[in-house]
Amino acid sequence: MSDDVPTPKVLLLPGWQDAGPAHWLSRWQATHGYRRLAQHDWQRPLRGDWLMQLEEAVLPTGAAASSGLTLVADGLGSLLVAAWAAHSRHSHRVQAALLVTPLDAEREALRPLLASWAPICRQPLPFASILVGRRDDACCSFERAQAFAHAWGSEFIDGGQRGQINAESGQSDWPQGQAFLQLLEDRAQALAREESDKSRARSTACEAPH
């Protein structure tokens, strides 16, 4: 890996009501040491509050501390990524996002509980992303998940059936998700190297004697 390409870092974004100790997000945190975003209120999530928490987590605490960041979002966390990317001036600090079973906050049953999350932001994401949808997810139809992926410019992956991806569906570790994450990071790193090589070539061309 080139010295001027930042080492990938992962920030986990749990969804509504957080992720319990048996959830794949928690297992990934324990196994791989990924950083996890904490929210003030998991039961009554306010989009503005959640956005501020993510913004603070992405902002650097040292010299380019959060460059090359990869976001891994579950459920409502996917909507958080879309809303944040549409409004933040620091989205360039993120290199990629893995969006897993997004929650459809515009469903009639969820609107009263998640009023601040509608309408859902649908601007294209300014970084590489993969969205995993399930065919029988009670919180987001397969067609809606595909529509979100199209709006956000994400590669859509058919996650099959068995409901949401969690401990209840027997996927506490979700190794397939790790494979998706590795694929996403490899792509982002290759793109970063390509951009670095182009920048170096332009710089060399400018410095060459005429």
Cite the DSSP H helix spans in the chain. 24-32, 47-58, 76-87, 142-152, 175-207
- Beta carbons within 8 Å of 186's beta carbon, 6+ residues apart: none
Q: What digits encode the pLDDT tens for the residues 188-197? A: 888 878 876 7
Assess contact for 129 and 97: CB atoms under 8 A: yes
What pLDDT does 4 receive?
Answer: 43
Residue 18: left (phi > 0), alpha (psi -120 to 50), or beta? left
125 and 85 in contact (C-beta within 8 Å)? yes
Residue with tokens 């879309």: 82
Q: Specify the pLDDT at position 199.
A: 66
Exposure on the CB side of residue 195, measured as CA atoms within 13 A: 10
Res. 2 pLDDT band, cuts 50 70 90: very low
Indicate the CATH number for domain 9-207: 3.40.50.1820
Confidence class of residue 162 from pLDDT cuts 50, 70 and 90? Answer: low
Tell me if 94 sits within 8 A of 85, measured CB to CB.
yes
Read off φ and ψ for residue 94, nearest 5 degrees: -100, 135
Q: What is the pLDDT of residue 195?
A: 75
Select from 109, 127, 122 the least CA-distant residue to 83: 122
Can you tell me the distance from the alpha carbon of 130 to that of 149, in angstroms, rounded to the nearest whole number? 8
Residues 11, 198: contact at Cβ < 8 Å? no
Percent helix, percent strand, percent coil in the chain, to nearest 5: 40, 15, 45
One-letter identity of residue 12? L
| Whether the model pTM is above 0.75 | yes
Q: Are 166 and 24 in contact (CB under 8 A)?
A: yes
